[in-house]
Amino acid sequence: MRTTPPISGSAVADDLLSQVADEVRRAAKLPADRIMQPSSRLVEDLGIDSLDLVGVMLQVQDRFGVEIDDDDVVKLTTLEALTTYVAQRLPQV
């Protein structure tokens, strides 16, 4: 597994964060104007319930072509954590 620093600041990182946020918003059926920060907690801040969280993880896997291990889902509590996880697993180009 590649090690990637936490998501912050660069245009590529910001773009990936934005893409992950869009997928989370779509899968969880959140309003388009919902403010999402890197530190936004998926359950506590965004109100995503357990069923929608499954949908979020499936949507992110499909969109980015990455595998999210079931044991890792409990660790992916924030938008930034999910984005960093995806970044670490993206295919090399």
- Quote the CA–CA distance of 23 and 55 in Å, as a whole number: 10
DSSP per-residue string spanning 23-55? HHHHHTT--TT----TT-BTTTTT---HHHHHH
Report yes or no: 38 and 7 within 8 Å, Cβ to Cβ.
yes
The rounded Cα 22 to chain-centroid distance in angstroms is 9
With a cut of 80, say whether residue 4 has pLDDT above it.
Answer: no
Residue 73 DSSP code: G
pTM: 0.85
pLDDT in tens, 33-71: 999 999 999 999 999 999 999 999 999 999 999 999 999
Would you call 86 helix, strand, or coil by DSSP?
A: helix
- Say how many C-beta atoms besides its own lie within 10 A of residue 7's C-beta: 22
For residue 2, what pLDDT is reported? 42
